[in-house]
Amino acid sequence: MNSIRYFRLSNPFTSQTTTMFFQRLFAMANYTSSSPKTSIQTVYDTCKNNLKLSTSPHTQLIRDLSSKLDTLGPVDVGLTEENQEDDRGHGFSIPNTLGRVDRWAQPITYIELNESESFTMCMFCFPTSSVIPLHDHPGMTVLSKVLYGSLHVKGYDWVEPACIKISNGPSRAPVRLAKLSVDKVLSAPCSTSVLYPNSGGNLHCFTAVTSCAVLDILTPPYEESAGRKCTYYRDYPYSSFGSRDDPVDGKEDEYAWLEEIETPDDLYMRQGRYAGPPIQI
């Protein structure tokens, strides 16, 4: 559990990773050649100098941050793919018939780059098939940059005014109507995606199509005392609770009912270590 098979948090110029490093540079050359290279320090400084707790980031700032993030790759934050072998599993292993405990599957690794009152900058490193379940970002703007690999993103936004129904099932929470906003695969190199407090897929889930890494900037950060608590949901097809009175305009496939749930037991994460260029805080 002390090493990560899918990426290396270390100097990319080791003997084992030099070849892959240059392969990645070659693959990203056409994508980044038209834009000046940005360092992670520049991204941090832009956030520190412009993101304020009391105001939402304006459109031009989001564009500026997005363009800077667009040029970043895994090497810029100390990540390189280390091993092409893929366990394709997640969660805990179970004892086999011989009484031995199988090797644990790889968790999602969370790496914090900065945590302040106005923003969080962090990375998530996913093994293939791992999932961050459907969750929300109340009152928050989030920029996400896929650094390598492919990630499926499915996101919803609440229908307003709120459309809530009480389930008849035992011990079931109410469900609320949401509209599908995004349902696609992001593969590096690709543009930065942005979600807003009320649009862009504020409630979303991530599923790793391949091993991959994502750099996130969340502003303002989660803060339960300020009403920004991370809540998890289960989604149901519109047909599960729908009726003629619902505002779906004959597009039932674009809507779902979301039920608040406890943090899933199979959300398997661990803290990682940042080993990219030093960030002067």
pLDDT score of 115 more than 80:
yes
pLDDT score of 216 more than 90:
yes
Give the start-to-end residue ranges of the domains of the chain.
8-92+103-271
Q: What percent of the chain lies above the pLDDT cut of 70?
A: 77
Question: Half-sphere exposure (CA, 13 Å, Cβ side) for 139?
Answer: 14
Distance CA(191)–CA(188), nearest Å, equals: 8
Please indicate, yes or no, whether the overall pTM of this predicted structure exceeds 0.75.
yes
Q: What average pLDDT does range 54-80 have in this prediction? A: 91
Confidence of residue 166 (pLDDT cuts 50, 70, 90): confident
Beta bridge partners of 80: 8
pLDDT score of 224 more than 80:
yes
181-198 pLDDT, tens digit per residue, is 999 999 999 999 999 999
- CA distances 176 to 133, 152, 240, 252, 262, Å, are 17, 23, 12, 14, 16
pLDDT, residue 90, reads 39
Q: What percent of the chain lies above the pLDDT cut of 90?
A: 63
Q: What average pLDDT does range 62-86 have in this prediction? A: 82
pLDDT, residue 171, reads 61
Cα 259 off chain centre by: 20
Q: Which residue has the higher pLDDT, 42 or 266?
A: 42
pLDDT, residue 37, reads 72
pLDDT, residue 170, reads 64
pLDDT, residue 246, reads 80
Q: Which of 20-29, 57-66, 154-163 has the lowest mean pLDDT?
A: 20-29
pLDDT score of 22 more than 60:
no
Max Cα-Cα span within the chain: 64
pLDDT, residue 81, reads 58
How high is the mean pLDDT of the chain?
A: 81
Q: What average pLDDT does range 75-92 have in this prediction? A: 59
Helix (H, G, I), strand (E, B) or coil at 23: helix
* Domain 8-92+103-271 belongs in CATH node 3.40.50.2000: no
